[in-house]
Amino acid sequence: MDAQELRDKPVVALDSAERVGRVSDVLFWTDPLRLAGLRVATQAGDYVLPFDGVASFGHDAVTVESDQAVRRRASMASIDDLPGLIQLAGLKVVDESGTYQGIVRTLDVDATKGDVTALEVESGGILGLGGERTNIPIDLVRSVGPEVVTVRAMA
């Protein structure tokens, strides 16, 4: 699943059949790179939904067993401080030899396990037009920093 597809999806509590909020960002652990949780915007403020609190990532909504799965940001500080898709998309990608590979556009995620399976990287083009997109498998990713993602040399 493309992590971008999660943004703006409603979050629905199964026990009350109510909309809890909407996904405003997707949060990731970076070592190893995997899904940590979702930032959920509600009328009462921003909350964090840990990955293990998700019942299902559906086509039209993210479901949780109860609205209690969505926790206040302060109580989930370790997850809340993680980089989101908003920060990761746009990072430069450089391989071991120092060759620029492009810019991260999105991350592909296995929604059942939370594993990132690939980075979609775009190179070339002007203002997002005419660029070439490449999927870099997660096993080629060496590290994720605040400005750059390093990857093993691609064959």
Domains of the chain: 3-85 (2.30.30.240), 87-151 (2.30.30.240)
pLDDT at 155: 63
pLDDT at 44: 87
**Model confidence, pTM:** 0.87
Which burial class, exposed, middle or buried, applies to 90 when counting CB atoms under 10 A from its CB (0-12, 13-18, 19+)?
Answer: exposed
Q: Which two tokens stand for residue 151?
A: 């990857």
| Averages of pLDDT over each 10 residues, the chain, 155 residues | 96 96 95 93 90 95 92 61 91 95 96 95 76 93 95 83
**Computed over its alpha carbons, how large is the radius of gyration of the chain?**
16
Q: Which two tokens stand for residue 118?
A: 């690939």
Cα–chain-centroid distance for residue 90?
A: 13
Distance, CA of 72 to CA of 103 (rounded, Å): 32
pLDDT at 74: 46
